A and B are shown apart, each in its own frame.
Chain A
Amino acid sequence: MLFLPSAAGLLFLLIDGLRRLPAFGHYPGPYGMVLNGVAVTERHATNLVSAVNFDYRAFDTLGEEFILFTATTAVVMLLRNMRGESEPPSARESRKEGASDALRAFALAFVVAMIVLGGYVVVHGAITPGGGFQGGVVLATGAFLLFLAGETLAMKRLAPNTMLEIADAAGAAGFALLGLGGLIFAGVFFENFLDLGKPGSLNSAGMIPLVSISIGLEVAAAFLLIWSEFLDQALLVRGEE
């Protein structure tokens, strides 16, 4: 009985909301068009999405980054070892489990390539599509391939949890410190205080590449930390069976 009126209300709101959206292909706002016109000369960044994220709206991205940081902390806290639970069995015991030879060969062959690709995407954030968030996930995937290959021990050794926690915090702090650098050297929080360089070259766009690198570090560490916690849970459950 409650369902019909609520469904009708939802339908009405949905249709009403959709009707008021701008027609597809006729973007009404001036903000994006202004940015498209001035960003390349103003910031020397050719990837405008990165310029918006890491410079024009860097303060929002700081909040977004701390959402990621807080959520990672929460996941680590939720999945910690409870009282009365046995310690997860060491990764050595679950080695080479469930991975076929073909999967192992391909995953191991791609580890280095994925890490190089991730680093490339991170440092070229200001020039070509990509940036800290995308590249950070690719970097994390590179280390995660080791797990796919059944080399859980190698993955833990490549990225131990303590190191991941430090990298996660260092990435978040690095971004905030860059903002503070703007406050100190240019007078405004997140104002660019570095040489802008030549558009299209690797060290252009002032602090955008640095922001990209610190975010890439944080994202890669956060994702690996989350996966590692879930992995420990899986080992724990498998150990109890």
Chain B
Amino acid sequence: MTPAALSETTWILVFALLLLAPLAVFGLALMNTGLGRSRSAAQSLLGSVLLVAVAALVFVAFGASLAGGPGGHLSFGGQSWDVIGHAPAFSIAYGLNTLGRAPLMTLLQLWSVAIMVLIPWGSGSDRWRTVAAMAATVFGAGIIFPLIAHWTGSGWLAQLGTNFGLAQGFADSSNAAATHVLGGVTALVVIWVAGPRKGKFPKQGVSTAIPGHQSVYVLLGCGLALVGWLGLNSAAALLAPGATLPAAVGAAVNTVLAASAAVLATFFITRARFGKPDASLCANGWIAGLVTSSGTAALVGPGAAIFIGCVAGVITPLLVELLELGLSIDDPSGAIAVHGVAGIWGLLATGFFARLAPTADRGAQILAQLVGIVVLLGLLFPLLYLLFLGLNKVVRFRADSEGERMGMDLAELGGSAYPEFVIHRDEFHR
């Protein structure tokens, strides 16, 4: 099977699997809502829908053409390089009615970009204005996601194997770099630009606990996310060059194993640390396992998937605690640990555990993964920070003090998500 041609059966199967992916998107939206405060619940969920809408329109209009697939080649230094932006805007959207790989890749990337834009939205919960998040989404979905998706999918990072002799090149099973690592980095930048919630870090004493308002939403979101992730990872496995139908089963099994190992590890870690397991941290552990599977599902064996998920499940709750208590980073959804760090761990682990051709060098594969991670971190942090710092001057990120005190529902929508509930005095504002 060549990258461009798919059998009719495979095409239909991949398309059907991709129709499950929105469950991952709205599972994350539910989790973000549940992990925020009750007075911002409606704004959080409506914001999620709006961000997905903006991301879809911008990505199909510009981003998909930028991300593209193999096709535009440039010879430089005796090597052939896949170049970005070789297709004109809207060209991918017009080419959707073919039975090839390109329209399915566009759909896969469409759901990936929808997940990516929701990751920082959860971290900016209770203070990030919807309009500012929509403006940030235009840049994220239109330029930054396509750039990273191109580099890691068919661009120079993916070509580290052919052009620099580094085994398979940067290996990323299902857009983990462009979706989760980018989402995690964006989350940290949004937190830095918008600042922490009022009263989160008082002048004296430890940080104030502001718990999520709905554990049921959070855990239901986990279940929905699993179904979506199964669709995304299996579809990505089938779209890989040279893939056969059983590849989808392997990817699906690895996805479940990674998430299961991660949630069990988090369960026991939180139980050991706090005496009782923590529901929201266990949910975070589950998602961290799924995130690692995005980088690894189609590339490693089941034993490796369990180990990788288990490590993610151990580091996630510890890191969530460290970020809040040790580093004063107010991340209500834990996105930096769950998506950013677990995503990087998944990509690094691919170097150590990916099934390689007998002639390929393990050290070279590890180097390829390291180069990808260093490039992503070194470039994305400064660029995103400067971009969002400038954007913040044009469209203010943070709600005003009174709006934040009342809650984003009243401040932005004029009504509460739970009008029949009594709102407590805000004990967080001292």
Q: Is chain B found bound to chain A in the same assembly?
A: no
Chain A residues with a Cβ under 8 A of chain B: none
